[in-house]
């Protein structure tokens, strides 16, 4: 059952966070739905501009609609990840998306406000909610590289002004994370004080954490042992910090890189151990099962595991 992102946030706020998982293909979608059902968790399926262009956006929509039939118990929202203005309008018009993210955080504040406001107006007219971003995440975000050292944490006072001026429904904040596998070079972690300060300025507004992958060290080691060359120092967010962040108003935790690592490990190990194999399905089967296991582990850490029946009841009542 596709529900609104708003309903999911209202149920989760202050208690747990929804895993927002990026998908690009059939196998990821199957593993995601299976893991969500196994852990009895609601979730957000998110589609980036790159994912929409990988095959054809209609393929992903078709597969997700089929998954909804194959897994009738699933409760989820469909979200555009890192949209530009044009893609946001396309998704809003399509009627398929529960929410869109307008990412104009690389623009100056006033410009970010103006773009976000236009998208909010178009989205709200169609019952779609909007995630906006303020502040700069370190690392590589889509095609924009930001020097990690100069990464700008979200300013709480600006956050208040931004939400008031734009009417956005949730806010992606820079709170110490960055995209990809190389997040921290030292012992840094999430800036809890900053999350608290932002939330104090905009109580009730769900916060979104991008760049939340944990980059498990054993995963990196297995990939490299099977011929990979991931650089040393690949490091992610401590997944034990998801729940404390959720309790401070972080309702959506974006995870993409970790899923890519599962894919890479499974396929490298599979074909290394079976060099004579050329059927893609046995490896695909292993991946779907392993990705489902990964989703269960994340939903348990996010606190979304076990919420499925309660969220379904909540969403159908509203």
Considering the rule CB under 6 A, would residue 48 count as an interface residue with ligand G3H? Answer: yes
Give which of ligand 13P, ligand G3H, Zn ion, none residue 105 binds (C-beta under 5 to 8 Å, depending on kind). Answer: none
CB nearer to ligand 13P: give 210 or 265: 210
The angle subtended at Cα 4 by Cα 295 and Cα 61, nearest 5°, is: 65
CB nearer to ligand G3H: give 191 or 260: 260
Q: Which residue has the tokens 């396929």?
A: 267
Q: Which of 38, 81, 155, 169 is catalytic?
A: 81
Nearest by Cα to 49 from 109, 89, 14 = 89
CB nearer to ligand 13P: give 11 or 235: 235
Considering the rule CB under 6 A, would residue 179 count as an interface residue with ligand G3H? Answer: yes
Range 273-302 burial, b when 16+ CB lie within 10 A, else e: eeeeeeeeeebbeebbebbbebbbbbbbbb
3 state DSSP class of 108: coil
**Which residues are CB-contacts of 303 (< 8 A; sequence separation ≥ 6)?**
15, 16, 17, 242, 243, 246
Of the candidate residues 212, 299, 304, 307, the single one contacting ligand 13P (CB under 6 A): 212
Of the candidate residues 38, 61, 84, 142, the single one contacting ligand G3H (CB under 6 A): 142
Give which of ligand 13P, ligand G3H, Zn ion, none residue 50 binds (C-beta under 5 to 8 Å, depending on kind). Answer: ligand G3H
Contacts made by residues 185-189, CB under 8 angstroms, sequence distance 24+: 185/148, 185/233, 185/235, 189/237, 189/238, 189/241
Catalytic-residue membership of 81: yes
Considering the rule CB under 6 A, would residue 82 count as an interface residue with ligand G3H? Answer: yes
**Residues constituting the chain:** 318
Give the x/- contact pattern for ligand 13P in 227-246, rule: CB under 6 A. --------------------
Of the candidate residues 27, 155, 256, 258, the single one contacting ligand G3H (CB under 6 A): 256
User: Which helix (DSSP H) or strand (DSSP E) does residue 21 occupy?
Assistant: strand 18-22
Contacting positions for Zn ion (CB under 5 A) = 210, 254
Residues that bind ligand 13P (CB under 6 A): 22, 81-82, 179-180, 210-213, 254-258
């Amino acid at each position: 059952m596709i529900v609104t992102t708003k309903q999911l946030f209202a149920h989760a706020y202050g208690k747990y966070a929804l895993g927002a998982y990026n998908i690009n293909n059939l196998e990821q979608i199957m593993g995601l739905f299976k893991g969500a059902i196994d852990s009895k968790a609601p979730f957000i399926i998110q589609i980036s501009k790159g994912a929409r262009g990988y095959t054809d956006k209609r393929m992903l929509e078709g597969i997700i609609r089929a998954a909804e039939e194959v897994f009738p118990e699933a409760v989820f929202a469909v979200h555009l990840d890192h949209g530009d203005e044009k893609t946001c309008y396309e998704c809003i018009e399509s009627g398929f998306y529960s929410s869109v993210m307008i990412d104009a955080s690389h623009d100056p504040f006033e410009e970010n406000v103006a773009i976000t406001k236009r998208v909010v107006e178009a989205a709200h007219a169609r019952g779609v909610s909007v995630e906006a971003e303020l502040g700069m995440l370190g690392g590589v975000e889509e095609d924009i590289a930001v020097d990690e050292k100069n990464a700008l944490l979200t300013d709480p006072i600006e956050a208040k002004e931004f939400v008031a001026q734009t009417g956005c429904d949730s806010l992606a904040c820079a709170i110490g994370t960055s995209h990809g596998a190389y997040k921290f070079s030292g012992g840094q972690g999430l800036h809890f004080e900053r999350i608290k300060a932002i939330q104090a300025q905009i109580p009730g507004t769900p916060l979104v954490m991008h760049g939340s992958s944990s980059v498990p060290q054993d995963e990196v080691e297995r990939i490299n042992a099977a011929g990979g060359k991931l650089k040393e120092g690949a490091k992610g967010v401590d997944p034990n910090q998801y729940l404390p962040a959720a309790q401070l108003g972080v309702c959506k935790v974006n995870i993409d890189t970790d899923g890519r690592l599962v894919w890479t490990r499974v396929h490298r190990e599979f074909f290394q151990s079976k060099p004579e194999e050329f059927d893609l399905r046995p490896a695909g089967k292993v991946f779907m099962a392993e990705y489902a296991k990964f989703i269960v582990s994340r939903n348990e850490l996010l606190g979304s595991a076990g919420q499925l029946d309660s969220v379904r009841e909540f969403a159908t009542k509203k």
